[in-house]
Amino acid sequence: MSIEIVDPVAEAEEASPDRRTLRRLGWVGWISIGVIVLALLMAVLGPILAPFDPNQGDLSFANVGPFGQHLLGFDGQGRDVLSRLLVGARTAIFGAAAVALVAVVIGTTLALVTAWFGGKVDATASVVIDVVFAFPGILLAILAAAVFGPSLFSAGLALAIAYSPYVARVLRGAALKERAMTYIAALEVQGFGAWRLCARHLLPNISSLIVAQGTILFGFAMVDLAAISFLGLGVQTPQADWGVMVSEGKTSLLQGYPLVSISAVLCIVAVVAAVSFLGDRLDTSSKAVNR
């Protein structure tokens, strides 16, 4: 998954979305919000809502279609698909959220530090950033799996590190612009420290941009994490996870029983599409309001 590179200046000019944004959502927007709320509910309450044990399989039910309380039927090992989807939401959603959060924190810190101090700090940081840029997220995650052994943690950490330079690059532009404002110079002359100025003035002024970056990254993280779990290098089977389910269901799919893989794919696609639609819409709405 590549990350779109966004013009920092143009992005910086966007205002935070306001109430009018909500009215511009349209029906697709409301559906998207619905999908996200549902996904969050699944992530939080999944194990409680799950009607059956997600890991308890009965091979005599392998690849049996929906009946009775088993609304989505069984997977290749006779486990209840709906229960696995409900339980698997947690790693898929919270895993991606954690990756986005860590990437945003690292990226923002890098951006603020380089924008504030400039000079040697900036030059050193940009060398590091250049090297990290040379590693696509998926590759870094595979390397992490080789080094630390395959797990959600190593994959997530690798992705967060791979994403952070993109955040840093976008935010650095905005932070530099804010840094150049005369009021910052005025406050500096009055003896306010770097910490205080960064926290109270720089950070709030680029906050909408940070939120936007986080939203974009959440979508990427969800897709990439699922892809890595699909490769067998992330969440480990038999633990329920949407990415793992796509991979587990493949054997059944090739035998003509696609329900497991396809239901997991649809969950991932629905959430990613909803997040990216809302991200886009917030973006264009705030532009329209600004004009």
Partner 1 sequence: MIAFLGKRMAMLLATLLVASFAIYGALYLAPGSPIAALTGGRSVPPEVLAQLEERYHLNEPFLTRYWLWLSGVVRGDLGESIPLRQDVSTIIGQRIGVTLQLVMLTAAIIIIVGVGLGIVGALGRKSVDFGVLLASTVSAALPAFAAAVLLQFVFGVMLGWFPVLGTGDGFVDQLRHLTLPALALAATSVALVARVTRTAVRDELDKEHVQTAVSRGLPWRDVVRRHVLRNAAIPITTVVGITIASLIALAAVVETAFGLNGLGAYLVQAAQNKDFATVQGISLVLVFAFVITNVIIDIAYAILDPRVTLGSRAQ
What residues line the site for partner 1 (CB under 8 A)? Answer: 1-2, 4-7, 127, 130-131, 134-139, 142-143, 145-148, 150, 223, 226-227, 230-233, 243, 246-247, 249-250, 253-254, 256, 258, 261-262, 265, 268-269, 272-273, 276
Give residue 78's region: left, alpha or beta (phi > 0; psi -120 to 50). Answer: left
Of 155, 167, 149, residue with least CA distance to 226: 155
Q: Are 233 and 143 in contact (CB under 8 A)?
A: no
d(CA 138, CA 161) in angstroms, rounded, equals: 11
Of 48, 138, 155, residue with least CA distance to 99: 155
- Least distance in angstroms from the C-beta of 13 to partner 1: 15
Residue with smaller CB distance to partner 1, 45 or 262: 262
Of 168, 231, 172, residue with least CA distance to 202: 172
- Least distance in angstroms from the C-beta of 222 to partner 1: 9
- Least distance in angstroms from the C-beta of 190 to partner 1: 36
Residue with smaller CB distance to partner 1, 202 or 217: 217
| Phi, psi for residue 190 in degrees, rounded to 5 | -75, 0
Residue with smaller CB distance to partner 1, 50 or 160: 160
Residue with smaller CB distance to partner 1, 138 or 197: 138
- Least distance in angstroms from the C-beta of 181 to partner 1: 24
